[in-house]
A and B are shown apart, each in its own frame.
Chain A
Amino acid sequence: AQSVTQLGSHVSVSEGALVLLRCNYSSSVPPYLFWYVQYPNQGLQLLLKYTSAATLVKGINGFEAEFKKSETSFHLTKPSAHMSDAAEYFCAVSEGGGSNYKLTFGKGTLLTVNP
């Protein structure tokens, strides 16, 4: 069974500061891992994905994440926060075809960016 834990339901940073959002996963098979962003009253937008290729994954808007198998982690980072990054971020795991590629999400981390 697959599961995701996001540490910290709310992270607050200053504009220009480093963003670090934490995600740990559990999976019985090599996982696919994703980060999605959700703006208020909108659907989910894919930021980046890990699909067993490079362990350091670059996504849109300057975000990146590193897959660490030994730590079962997939933390999201951005070197310099921008006001427009304020949103809710969800980490998700999929066990691939054996589970019909369905996604299991964490509870989300709300990122606020202070001027």
Chain B
Amino acid sequence: SQQGEEDPQALSIQEGENATMNCSYKTSINNLQWYRQNSGRGLVHLILIRSNEREKHSGRLRVTLDTSKKSSSLLITASRAADTASYFCATVRTYTDKLIFGTGTRLQVFP
């Protein structure tokens, strides 16, 4: 069964705008990861945030984690057309080694 659910399922914005994607999950976790997938290609790891962390940055990416609400958000600032892709959150449940993926958010950035 899917652990993470992303919201929205699809998002369209203009270049230069910020894009925010949310992920909710059901059980306690060790860490949460975000991946990016260009159409039909392999997934690429973006960022990992551990359960004891609340916020993490990597370039134009900002990830937050709220374990009390079992949710995370991925913010992409100053979006570019090249950011067009699907974004997936994935969680590692506590006491397991299993990474479970959500169904993804499709982001379209128009030039």
The judgment on whether A and B are partners is: no
Binding site for B on A (CB under 8 A): none
